[in-house]
Amino acid sequence: MATPLMIERVGRVGSTQDEARIRYRGDPLLVSATGQDAGRGRSGAEWIDADRSLAASLAFEPVWPPQAMPRIPLVAGLALTDLLPDVVRLKWPNDIISGDLKVGGILTEAFDGLVVVGLGLNIYWTSPPEGIGAVHTSDPGEEHPHRVAERWAEIFLQRIESGPTAWGRAEYLARCRTIGRSIEWDPGGSGVAIGIGDNGELLVDSQDGEVALYAGAVRDVRPV
């Protein structure tokens, strides 16, 4: 990796997204925390800590053109699945799943040229809420989340440095459980997910023909 990665391990914080943005000084910065008190998910959803969870955010300034920016959350998911067991897969646009259970998610925010990519992952959870799971069935220890976060950041930046045309679309297609499924999305859409576009949009065969869904334009995509 040509660009140096700065790493700050912290204790419990309000939000790693906010910490990474505030602490950023020019080089890519990863903030990895033991927990969050005011963490947030996509569309402002509340973040709930598992018994052992990963909460990390990476701040950097991408040199990709603006039209390529929607690919960044997908690249972040790919980088994570490079690390995790094969059972862990992706749900478009930014959920991490094991089977049909959500085990984590990606949150991407932009601030005047600075991009902050947040990763939340349930490492181990004895009694998760309904529909939620965890990557491991036993506790791998307190160092494990930090190690995963740091390796994820390194792989993610390597993929980013490969350039916007080599972001890994074919790999994403192979790892995305949404493809081939009948889905519904808000407001009032339905169809079969058939592919991923060049900029990370979800291509859907609907009753109105092929449509492209963009992450910022839909609140939820769910299997029928």
Shared domain for 200 and 101, answered yes or no, is no
In this predicted model, what pLDDT tens digit does every residue of 25-59 receive, in sequence order? 999 999 999 888 876 655 555 667 899 999 999 99
Residue 40 has which token pair? Answer: 């947030």
Distance CA 32, CA 12 (A): 10
Shared domain for 199 and 143, answered yes or no, is no
In this predicted model, what pLDDT tens digit does every residue of 52-93 receive, in sequence order? 999 999 999 999 998 899 999 999 999 999 999 999 999 999
Shared domain for 61 and 116, answered yes or no, is yes
Between helix 144-161 and helix 72-81 the angle, nearest 10°, is 130
Question: Alpha carbon 15 to chain centroid distance?
Answer: 16
Q: Is residue 176 part of a domain?
A: no
The H-assigned helical ranges of 27-168 are 72-81, 144-161
pTM score of the predicted model: 0.91
Shared domain for 114 and 204, answered yes or no, is no
| Total domains in the fold of the chain | 2
Among residues 176, 157, 178, the alpha carbon closest in space to that of 167 is found at 157
Q: Which domain holds residue 34?
A: 6-166
